Amino acid sequence: MKEINSVKIEFLSRSSNESFARSTMAAFAAQLDPTLDELGDIKTSVSEAVTNCIVHGYPDTLGKIQLRARIFPDNSIEITVRDWGRGIADIDAAREPMFTTGGEERSGMGFTIMESFMDKLRVRSSTGRGTTVTMTRRISPRAQLRAAK
């Protein structure tokens, strides 16, 4: 399916940029007229993905994070968060609830949260070369929501 709009930005893996990424994706997704709950789910998922890049991809250094979003005619948004950091040695283990490599202060729920808030989650990673997380969410058209009530 061909996208009808897209955006791509890059920023450094500073924790202060997590809120920037979250707000940017919320503003971009707003053109789909999401509910506040749908918008909250997108913002939270982006926060989790970007935080993973910062904490796990670049734990001891600054690196580049790329955020890309595409909107499709079926009222869906695809968001891709990519880093060129450490990578994930075992993606299956990393996707298990409570698994973390970030120390005791980390909950290990990032992928679980993304998976529960988005319709689809795909994770690709190569050790030493980085990680790409792609999330998709279809937004319910408001006219249909109002008619259903």
**Number of C-beta neighbours around residue 13 at 10 A:** 22
Eight-state DSSP code of residue 47 = H
Residue tagged active-site, from 68, 75, 95, 106: 106
Based on the residue annotation, tell me whether 5 is a catalytic residue of this protein.
Answer: no
| Cβ within 8 Å of residue 53, ≥6 positions away | 13, 63, 65, 81, 82, 83, 85, 131
Residue tagged active-site, from 22, 52, 70, 82: 52
Based on the residue annotation, tell me whether 52 is a catalytic residue of this protein.
Answer: yes
CA proximity to 122, closest of 136, 110, 138: 136
Residue tagged active-site, from 18, 38, 48, 78: 48
Based on the residue annotation, tell me whether 106 is a catalytic residue of this protein.
Answer: yes
3-state secondary structure of 105: coil
Residues designated as active site: 48, 52, 106
